[in-house]
Chain A
């Protein structure tokens, strides 16, 4: 049975195809359209899913959409009515969008799918197309937003039963939920409703500190270690009331997101002594302290919620999803608390993952199919390598078309030796291999990699390759078997969703003079044997590399260790600031040529920057991609 899951029309649209219990393909639309967090109907993603499965559109049995538009509209109306006449401006902006498209989502989706059917079947007559539309429209099912998140967290996990926490900005009404999953069912136990939302509180601080809402949250998380959490008491006193079970209530008089077009209002600005920071202006200690404070609040709430979830469900296992579950610092703290024996976090924890949850909900919950657990499997995500891959012929054809100069390796060992040698020489490598990752993290299939021991790697990558803010840290990939030798972590972290300290014996103490350095300048002080991936607080966002899910990358790390004695490398997403992660060989080559990446590896092809011909490129990343 084929089920297509769709997430679209808000942000981060995606399509996922499952066949019974197996995930065939999962991909975000932004990777094809090259528009970050693209919200449009994921037509390219659906086409790719069909291609991967080798089926036609009319062979799909069910279509699942990841939330319920009517209930969302109900929330919208009730909120506007409750706040009227405030919010009239926002009302005028949002209602036309709803009345034009979102309220008639079933019809809209049916129309889009019919268009796709016509494109894929140019010979089909109008009667066939009409019949297809009727059939497909009837097959669309709508799952609740947090049901989709919970399903994406529990069903692919390696657990037969688990407590499930979903935490995000907002779905229909729910912003946070606690559920219990057992075999093929998920039962919701408790919920927190809009406008009280941990995700939106974090977004409010993202907005106030001058970053973009819904994309800059991870920058706030990265900024937090530079600051002191000196605003925690102010936040608790004025903005949020946190109870022992982790439930909370916001004082909405400080926020503007229910009725306005900003997250915070004047009362909030007065509380923190001024207007929000202007985007791209220089960061001060105040922003760092605010980031540290909201991070502490987030961690406190998540830990309290987890303790409560343990108490209510009695389970040893915890599954997490929702945008807040991408806060890997909080996840790391949660792990350290040892509340649950095992924690599993959906790698596509944001709304893209809702497409997967929607499809799986239909299969397990609606259609009541039994759920099997494979004890030897890490989980059902297959390393999250669920996106497109390109044949050797396709890669060669593209490279030849731009007269690229490359070496082809038919011996993997030789290729790996070459790449490891270049990395050890502090070269920056663009690494494109096999199927693309699903979710926001690059996990060694569309990555920029380098030597973690290099003292210049962090600033080189930030300023010459990624063109992003210099305060942002990089993450390490480490051989799973060696993780405990380098980090205070004993468990799997295949999706880079856990932060843990670098082992004390690998760290260097800072001198008194270095301790006095301000904020970002501290980052340039080598603080460990692997300075490129050691954050200011001696922590790292770890990806453990497993032989079972990513053999070539695993072998590369082994070879690098053999050469240098270090099984840790830098791994950052293969893109520049504001650009979606690369997908095709063309995207990879373009990014390689526009930046100061030294070597590009696309499957078995190795390219060196110094011997490439001039790149005929009409655009540049500065003009093509809006800054995130």
Chain B
């Protein structure tokens, strides 16, 4: 819950409300990806990710 509150505060501060639906869908997709993959390997290129 506190995560959602913070996310809302972030979007308000940065005026990036258009990110909300994208993040929502990605969170749903993310649950699927994470469940499907089991382990996650970080990409090797720099810190972009």
Residue positions of A touching B, CB distance < 8 A: 10-11, 39, 70-71, 74, 76-77, 81, 90, 92-100, 103-104, 106-107, 137, 169-170, 200, 203, 213-214, 257-258, 260-263, 351
Contacts and interface: CB of A to CB of B under 8 A. Distances in A.
Nearest to B33: A96
Interface of B: 2-3, 6-7, 10, 14, 16, 19, 22-23, 26-27, 29-31, 33-34, 37, 40-49
Task: Identify the 10 closest CB pairs spanning chains A and B, nearest first.
Answer: A99-B30, A94-B49, A10-B47, A70-B10, A93-B43, A96-B40, A96-B33, A100-B34, A97-B40, A261-B45
Nearest to A203: B46
Nearest to B49: A94
Contact of B42 (A76, A97, A99): A97
Contacts of B44: 213, 261
Contacts of B48: 76, 94, 170, 257-258
Contacts of B16: 74
A353 to B, nearest CB: 14
21 contacts: A10-B47, A39-B42, A74-B19, A76-B49, A77-B23, A92-B33, A94-B48, A97-B40, A97-B42, A97-B43, A99-B31, A100-B30, A106-B6, A107-B2, A213-B45, A214-B47, A257-B45, A257-B48, A258-B48, A261-B45, A262-B45
B27 A257 contact: no
A76 B6 CA distance: 18
B interface SS class: helix
B26 to A, nearest CB: 7
A124 B10 CA distance: 35
A95 B26 contact: yes
Nearest to A39: B42
A262 B44 CA distance: 9
B11 to A, nearest CB: 9
A93 B10 CA distance: 25
A263 B45 contact: yes
Nearest to A75: B48
B47 A11 contact: yes
Given A74-B16, A96-B34, A99-B30, A200 B46 contact: yes
Interface-centre pick from A70, A94, A203, A258 (highest chain B CB count, 10 A): A70
